[in-house]
Amino acid sequence: MARLRRSLSSLPPRAHVEPVGADLVALAQAHALDVTVFPHQSLPPVLGGDAPPSVWVARAERDGPVIGFVATRANQSALEISGLAVEPLHRRAGLGRALVRAAVRAARKRGFSTVELHVSTGNTAALALYASERFRQAQRVEGFYSDERFPDDGDAWLMVRDVR
């Protein structure tokens, strides 16, 4: 619990990160944020599929609107971060870092050996965040993103962090 308090200490005074659980309003707000930030859906489907994703949300205040999320899904021995977003007005306040740390803690608790994610080669802020959280660039994936809004012809880095 002390580790959780430390990781959230950089958040705005009343902000917090919590699992979405059965809060359908928070899940809907996370989906709305997803479509405003990404050119394609990054949140995996909640219904259907092999296993539902694990989603954490960030709120500026308890019971307030969702201002960020991280979605994960199992991918063999890795927990994959399939989407992470923070509303533009709330960026650079530690919310992205707290969301990444929530996913890493979950991976460790669930017995995964690594956490993986893809990030645009041109997203310097995200690359810096992930590097500071001990992710390494494992492989460049050409054309991962098909939308013209991404630099480098949509290339992405597969980034990996050991959590054992």
Domain for residue 149, yes or no? Answer: no
pLDDT tens per residue across span 113-126: 999 999 999 999 99
Domain for residue 24, yes or no? Answer: yes
Which pLDDT belongs to residue 1? 36
pTM: 0.78
Domain for residue 123, yes or no? Answer: no
Residue 8 has pLDDT above 60, yes or no: no
Nearest CA to 70 among 146, 139, 130, 134? 130
Question: Residue 106's Cα: distance from chain center in Å?
Answer: 12
Residue 54 has pLDDT above 90, yes or no: no
The one-letter code for the residue type at 146 is S
- Tell me the residue range of the domain where 104 lies: 2-117
Domain for residue 63, yes or no? Answer: yes
Which pLDDT belongs to residue 129? 96
Residue 67 has pLDDT above 80, yes or no: yes
More confident of the two residues 45 and 162: 162
Helices (H) and strands (E) in the chain, counts: 4, 7
State whether the Cα torsion 65-70-71-73 is positive or negative: negative
Q: What's the CATH code of the domain at 56?
A: 3.40.630.30
Domain for residue 163, yes or no? Answer: no
- The answer to whether 131 touches 90, Cβ cutoff 8 Å, is no
Provide the number of structural domains found in the chain.
1
Domain for residue 84, yes or no? Answer: yes
Domain for residue 25, yes or no? Answer: yes
Q: Please give the structure tokens belonging to residue 152.
A: 């480098």
